[in-house]
């Protein structure tokens, strides 16, 4: 019986559910985990890089972390191909705003624009929803550092710490126990490594298995710095973490 | 034959716009206000082709208040100026461009400083400490050059404005029917009598 409702994106089931949207959310649960933590002086994003085959060329560039503008980064969980479309859209919207108003687009406005597009695919017929959740990390002069989470339904929320993708519930429960709101960026990065190492199956983390990005302010230049980390920088944090583990 | 003047002081912008509405050789109205309030701290003075001016000013005002409504956020003077410039630039490349020249006076509430922008129908946009639009610039810019300083108080700015009005009366063959003067500062926009 349910088949007559779940094959169309835009039709409610008798229980008032949109099956296609729920299936899209399910698709995200198969993706690697990504998490974000807001600190006093920045935000850290980290993501699990799933190694599918030894033969696959390990790209130096990140697969799940992207620049959106000068003040914004995002982490992806779900279908990367769908994400590319949305990231392209977000970048274009951000640059159009910059061209019109000569200032960076406030984070929430950009997040809302992308979510409006996602929402459209839950309502207009014949198309499937985007199978992507995002974590956006950004800074603007209105509300400072902000972390947003969005999903295929077009909902978004602002968070201090959150995670998306498979295993995200276990990361979230760790976050609830350990998050403090007066940490600095280094402590947040250490926390991110800890959460990842506790939730990923493998016993030792390497730079091939995770991706890292931070957004912070360069106080000397008075400019925001969005950085996706290189592998040696990731190794540095990992080594530091393993050092503290050994001591305790 | 219209005239717009504005000068930025230490914590305000003082603006003046001629109050005559003229068509050809006829004065249609002696109390025409050539300004449009865009939001609580942004005031736009406009002159140029009759019809284009009011239409364009209302278009910008509507869009700025739509932005405020949508995002619960006031656009800064610089963002407002950039937006207006962008609209003029788009219009310039259309079949019939708006022929509007603008002075935009604003107060940046976050930084606590006044800002003044000069724009013309070719979509030039410059931040300036004092500005004129129309023929009056031939007479008044020199007065501003002579008396302007960055830490002007409102009384000093009013005095400079009066010098400008006197000069225009003395040297120009046009009666502007007086000026409507407004102040933009931290408290918003208000009209004053000079």
Q: Where are the domains of chain B?
A: 3-192
* Helix ranges, chain A (H): 3-6, 19-29, 80-101, 107-120, 168-178, 185-199, 231-247
3-class secondary-structure state, position B82: helix
**Interface membership of A109 toward B (CB under 8 Å):** yes
Asked if B79's CB is within 8 angstroms of A106's CB, the reply is no
**pLDDT (average), residues B2-16:** 97
- Contact of A66 with A87, CB cutoff 8 Å: yes
Asked if A101's CB is within 8 angstroms of B82's CB, the reply is yes
Its pTM stands at 0.91
Asked if B73's CB is within 8 angstroms of A142's CB, the reply is yes
Closest of B167, B166, B162, B168 to residue B181, by C-alpha: B162
* Helix ranges, A160-207 (H): 168-178, 185-199
Asked if A109's CB is within 8 angstroms of B86's CB, the reply is no
Q: Does the CA dihedral A125-A130-A133-A137 come out positive or negative?
A: negative
Report the length, in residues, of chain A.
248
pLDDT (tens digit, 9 = 90+) per residue, B104-120?
999 999 999 999 999 99
Closest of A44, A33, A34 to residue A186, by C-alpha: A44
pLDDT value at position A8?
A: 61
**pLDDT (average), residues A24-47:** 95
**Interface membership of A95 toward B (CB under 8 Å):** no
Q: What is the CATH number that goes with domain A19-50+61-247? A: 3.60.20.10
Asked if A100's CB is within 8 angstroms of B83's CB, the reply is yes
Q: Which helix (H) or strand (E) holds A38?
A: strand A34-39
For residue B3, report the phi and psi dihedrals to the nearest 5 degrees. -140, 130
Query: Considering only alpha carbons, which residue of chain A is nearest residue B82?
Result: A101
Residue A130 CA to residue A24 CA, distance in Å, equals: 7
**pLDDT (average), residues A6-34:** 85
pLDDT (tens digit, 9 = 90+) per residue, B132-147?
999 999 999 999 999 9
Residue B59 CA to residue B38 CA, distance in Å, equals: 10
**Given a cut of 60, is residue A1 above it in pLDDT?**
no
**Given a cut of 90, is residue A204 above it in pLDDT?**
no
- Residue A173: exposed, middle, or buried by beta-carbon count in 10 A (0-12, 13-18, 19+)? exposed
Asked if A101's CB is within 8 angstroms of B73's CB, the reply is no
Query: Considering only alpha carbons, which residue of chain A is nearest residue B89?
Result: A100
Dihedral of the CA atoms A186, A188, A194, A198 (nearest 10)?
A: -170
pLDDT value at position A247?
A: 87
Residues from chain B that touch A106, judged by Cβ atoms under 8 A, are: 71, 73
pLDDT value at position A11?
A: 82
| Element counts in chain A: helices (H) and strands (E) | 7, 10
| B140 compared with A247, residue with greater pLDDT | B140
Q: Sorting pLDDT into bands at 50, 70 and 90, what band is A20?
A: confident
- In CATH terms, the fold of domain B3-192 is 3.60.20
């Amino acid at each position: 019986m349910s088949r007559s409702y779940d094959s169309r994106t835009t039709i409610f089931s008798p229980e008032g559910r949109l099956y296609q949207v729920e299936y899209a959310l399910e698709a995200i649960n198969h993706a690697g985990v990504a998490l974000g933590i807001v600190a006093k002086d920045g935000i850290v994003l980290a993501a699990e890089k799933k190694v599918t085959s030894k033969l696959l060329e390990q790209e130096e560039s990140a697969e799940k972390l992207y620049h959106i503008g000068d003040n914004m980064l995002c982490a992806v969980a779900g279908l990367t191909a769908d994400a590319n479309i949305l990231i392209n859209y977000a970048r274009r919207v951000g640059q159009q705003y910059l061209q019109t108003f000569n200032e960076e687009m406030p984070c929430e406005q950009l997040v809302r624009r992308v979510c409006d597009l996602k929402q459209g695919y839950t309502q207009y017929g014949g198309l499937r929803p985007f199978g992507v959740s995002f974590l956006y990390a950004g800074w603007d002069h209105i509300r400072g550092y902000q972390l947003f989470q969005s999903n295929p339904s077009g909902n978004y929320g602002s968070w201090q710490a959150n995670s998306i993708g498979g295993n995200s519930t276990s990361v979230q429960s760790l976050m609830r126990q350990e998050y403090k709101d007066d940490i600095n960026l280094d402590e947040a990065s250490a926390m991110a490594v800890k959460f990842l190492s506790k939730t990923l199956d493998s016993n030792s983390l390497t730079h091939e298995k995770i991706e890292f990005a931070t957004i912070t302010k360069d106080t000397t230049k008075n400019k925001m710095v969005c950085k996706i980390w290189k592998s040696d920088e990731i190794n540095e944090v990992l080594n530091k973490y393993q050092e503290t583990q050994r001591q305790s | 034959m219209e005239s717009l003047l504005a000068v930025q002081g230490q914590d305000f912008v003082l603006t003046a716009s001629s109050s005559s509405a003229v068509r050809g050789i006829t004065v249609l109205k002696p109390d025409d206000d050539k300004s449009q309030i865009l939001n609580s701290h942004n005031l736009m003075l406009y002159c140029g082709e009759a019809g284009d001016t009011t239409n364009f000013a209302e278009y910008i005002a509507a869009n700025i208040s739509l932005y405020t409504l949508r995002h619960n956020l006031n656009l800064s003077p610089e963002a407002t100026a950039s937006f207006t410039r962008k609209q003029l630039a788009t219009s310039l490349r259309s079949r019939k461009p708006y022929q509007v020249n603008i002075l935009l006076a604003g107060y940046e509430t976050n930084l606590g400083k006044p800002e003044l922008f000069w724009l013309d129908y070719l979509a030039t946009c410059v931040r300036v400490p004092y500005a004129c639009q129309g023929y009056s610039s031939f007479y008044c810019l020199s007065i501003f050059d002579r008396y302007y300083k960055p830490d002007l108080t409102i009384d000093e700015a009013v005095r400079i404005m009066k010098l400008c009005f006197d000069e225009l009366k003395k040297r120009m063959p046009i009666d502007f029917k007086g000026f409507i003067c407004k102040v933009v500062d931290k408290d918003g926009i208000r009209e004053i009598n000079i």
